[in-house]
Amino acid sequence: MTETHVNTVANSSASAPASLASDRPLGTPLGEHPTRVLFLGSGELGKEVTIELMRLGAWVCAADSYAGAPAQQVAHEYRVLDMANADALQSLFDEVKPDIIVPEVEAIATDVLAGAAAAGAQVVPSAEIAAICMDRERLRVLAHEELGLPTTPYRFAGSLEELRAGAAEVGYPCVVKPVMSSSGHGQSVVRSAEAIDAAWVEAQEGRRAADEGDVSRVIVEALAPLERELTVLTVSSSAGIVTCAPIGQRQESGDYRESWQPATEPAGEAERAQEIARAAVEGLVARARKAGETGWGVFGVELFVLTDGSILFNEVSPRPHDTGMVTMASQRLSEFALHARAILGLPITAEHVALSLPNGAVAASHAIVVAGDGEAEFTNVAEALAEPSTDLRIFAKPEVHGHRRMAVALAIGADEADARAKAGRVAEALEIDVR
């Protein structure tokens, strides 16, 4: 059963065909014929895109598995449902009648999503791209075996026996991940054959949707001599494909903690990273176009930079990326504004993705992860933001249980070290009570 919250009533009765996606009516979200956008997942990234869409005059409904999610707090309407439940998701589509559907999470009934696209809704970036990027196996086969992008050696396994054999082939140390999960859930670094059985168990029990009871296939890949990781935000729009300046990042347990833009890199590295990102997105968008879909939106392309300077493709997020929150300080148009414009059919060119920083300056973001059980209250905000060229976004998630990312600090500095230090000081100065 779904929970419904309605701030306003809109009466559009049919979704626009994909052929009209580049000329959608805007400016009458409460009128008779608004452009209706439905978010499947309503976290902090979806909240920022929702705000940008509303600034452009679209009507937005935000759906999630719980009430009070960040995007639900600012959208015209919200719904609460299990989006992996095919019947519940179809009922949502039948009720809302969205022109544009924006998947923001992985746990979605992809068959229903494909059906909505076939019926004329614009799925962002496309129903097939969403399905491919949720499945590490399909994505890796496309990237490496079809597009020829450089990756780490890998094998796939559907059983413990196949995993043991695959790990022996790629060698130790290696990394084991469920083919359908995210944010480090179910992932293990395995340094010897004795630990491979435990990695299989972690992949099955630690992944997202582990309670569904099925056996997850896994990918096992060589642990590359990693120097650092990059994200290249790549935008597909009615004007073609463009890339943003690479973003550097620091992770803990597979989850982002800091990011900075532009990333410090040797001469030529940014261009090589952008070439790989563009090739990956071009391949995905070609799939979308072949199916009659637009393929428009922001893609977060994740890359590995090895100690020898080579760059490898890792994964693609077919939506704004958490490391891209830094663009709220570094670019005139953040990744969220770019996403909103692109999915509405507006052109995105190199000028739109340019940095807006002083010469030589760097912007940084610092994720604020809160531990506890209850509501998180932020105080001492004035002191935290007293330093010039700093900012803060509090996500307003209703509760934290265990550990949860609840805010992000932003800063602009003279260089990478200065920007990261400034953002860190904002985070450290905040007083956060959980009760």
The architecture in CATH of the region 153-222 reads: 2-Layer Sandwich (3.30)
Is 297 within 8 Å of 230 (Cβ atoms)? no
Neighbours of 421 (CB within 10 A): 14
Rounded to whole angstroms, how far apart are CA atoms 203 and 220? 11
Q: Taking each helix axis from N to C terminus, what angle separates 196-205 and 160-170, rounded to the nearest 10 degrees?
A: 120
- Domains of the chain by residue range: 3-123, 153-222, 226-434
Rounded to whole angstroms, how far apart are CA atoms 278 and 143? 12
Q: pTM (2 decimals)?
A: 0.91
Long-range (24+ apart) CB contacts under 8 A made by 329-334 are 329/363, 329/364, 329/365, 329/391, 329/410, 329/411, 329/412, 330/245, 330/261, 330/262, 330/355, 330/356, 330/357, 330/362, 330/363, 330/412, 331/244, 331/261, 331/355, 331/356, 332/356, 334/48, 334/52
pLDDT at 212: 58
In CATH, 3-123 is 3.20.20.140: no
Q: What is the DSSP letter of 119?
A: T
Rounded to whole angstroms, how far apart are CA atoms 363 and 415? 8
CA angle centred on 116, ends 115 and 118, rounded to 5°: 65
Rounded to whole angstroms, how far apart are CA atoms 102 and 41? 8
User: Which of the residues in the chain have pLDDT under 50?
Assistant: 1-20
Active-site amino acid positions: 182, 184, 302, 315, 322-323, 405
Rounded to whole angstroms, how far apart are CA atoms 266 and 347? 31
Rounded to whole angstroms, how far apart are CA atoms 369 and 184? 15
| 105: CB partners within 8 A, 6+ apart | 40, 41, 43, 64, 83
Is 219 within 8 Å of 154 (Cβ atoms)? yes
Rounded to whole angstroms, how far apart are CA atoms 285 and 373? 42
pLDDT at 184: 66
pLDDT at 18: 43
The architecture in CATH of the region 226-434 reads: 2-Layer Sandwich (3.30)
